[in-house]
Amino acid sequence: QQQVKQSPQSLIVQKGGISIINCAYENTAFDYFPWYQQFPGKGPALLIAIRPDVSEKKEGRFTISFNKSAKQFSLHIMDSQPGDSATYFCAASMRKTSGSRLTFGEGTQLTVNP
């Protein structure tokens, strides 16, 4: 069962533009929503994360917007740079005393043209 759906599958943006990636989740028990960046041949690197008690979180050029009622969250990359070209994954997890597992979206391949 796919619990986190991510779109678009691929995205092409010009340098300096805004990249927007969207995710939707089903399980209302999820309480932690991170975004990971992955370059070819590398492991995912944590980019930014949010909890459902806030609607927005910004770190540098990266912003997460969170809509709890719609069960959606999105990543905005401002002033996109060619070095941002990578695959981005949204994820979700819920805290349990038995542990915490991440459920990932399918990924978005971002290309930023110079």
Closest approach of Cβ 57 to another protein, in Å?
14
Judged by CB under 8 A, the chain residues 72 through 91 that form the site for another protein are 89, 91
Copy the structure tokens of residue 50. Answer: 């949010």
State how far the Cα of 112 lies from the Cα of 19, in Å rounded to an integer: 9
Copy the structure tokens of residue 51. Answer: 């909890």
Q: Near another protein by CB under 8 A, which window of 12-20, 57-65, 67-75, 93-101?
A: 93-101
Per-residue string for binding with another protein, 39-58, x by CB under 8 A? --xxxxxx--x---------
Q: How far is CA 79 from the centre of its chain?
A: 17
Q: Kindly state whether residue 26 participates in binding another protein, applying the rule CB under 8 A.
A: no
**Shorter beta-carbon distance to another protein: residue 17 or 103:** 103
> Residue from 7, 17, 20, 32 that binds another protein (CB under 8 A)?
32
**Locus of tokens 């590398």:** 42
Instruction: Tell me if 104 sits within 8 A of 91, measured CB to CB.
Output: yes
State how far the Cα of 35 lies from the Cα of 14, in Å rounded to an integer: 21
By the criterion CB under 8 A, which residues form the site for another protein? 6, 32, 34, 36, 41-46, 49, 89, 91, 93, 95-107
